[in-house]
Amino acid sequence: SQQGEEDPQALSIQEGENATMNCSYKTSINNLQWYRQNSGRGLVHLILIRSNEREKHSGRLRVTLDTSKKSSSLLITASRAADTASYFCATTEYGNKLVFGAGTILRVKS
Amino acid sequence: EAGVTQFPSHSVIEKGQTVTLRCDPISGHDNLYWYRRVMGKEIKFLLHFVKESKQDESGMPNNRFLAERTGGTYSTLKVQPAELEDSGVYFCASSQGGSYGYTFGSGTRLTVV
């Protein structure tokens, strides 16, 4: 089943602006994670939020989770050119396998 | 500690050839996963090893793909024969399991021409 569908599909902003990406999922979750993929290469784990948490911060990242709406958002504040990447949310299914969405392509222009 | 290592980092092969991707997980991680992102689409699960056993291979697209994990250490993913639609980035991840998170490797970019 398709989980973790992100929107927007692509986002282009100026350096210094904030970027917000949203994710929706279909089934009950234990946690939701956000990952970044730079230049078509490896996945980097950004942040994990558990189902009993509503908001979590890590540096310039802020993640919210609304289990009633089955949605999450990732906010990157004061964006930098180096934040240019694809961002994915992922939920965990049986066996701890991750189910990813299609991702949001973020481009930060300097 | 060393992270998850994948190689090659990039492979270009012709349609019909065979390619073998390798993943070395973090030492002591029993769980090893393979994922791939094809044609810029979503990242999809391929299979999950617990030690040397295949726990879940429901994501393997067809019998051209063969994964092994010798002795519960490193894993290989062989594509034989490769097709154009196999092009993409193949990710490997390992974890201790339970509530512990994943660590992903840097991926192998496979290009089939």
pLDDT digits (tens, 9 = 90+) for A22-75: 999 988 888 899 999 987 678 899 999 999 999 999 999 999 999 999 999 999
pLDDT digits (tens, 9 = 90+) for B99-113: 667 899 999 999 999
Q: Which residues of A touch B102 (CB under 8 A)?
A: 45, 98
As a whole number of angstroms, the distance between CA B11 and CA A73 comes to 35
pLDDT digits (tens, 9 = 90+) for B35-92: 999 877 889 999 999 999 999 999 999 999 999 998 889 999 999 999 999 999 999 9
Does any CB of chain B come closer than 8 Å to the CB of residue A99? yes
pLDDT computed for residue A2 by the predictor: 39
Task: Mark yes or no for CB contact B55/A98 under 8 Å.
Answer: no
pLDDT band at A1 (very low <50, low <70, confident <90, very high): very low
As a whole number of angstroms, the distance between CA B106 and CA A17 comes to 28
With a CB cutoff of 8 Å and minimum separation 6, the contacts of A110 are: A15, A81
Cα B38 to its chain centre, rounded Å, is: 13
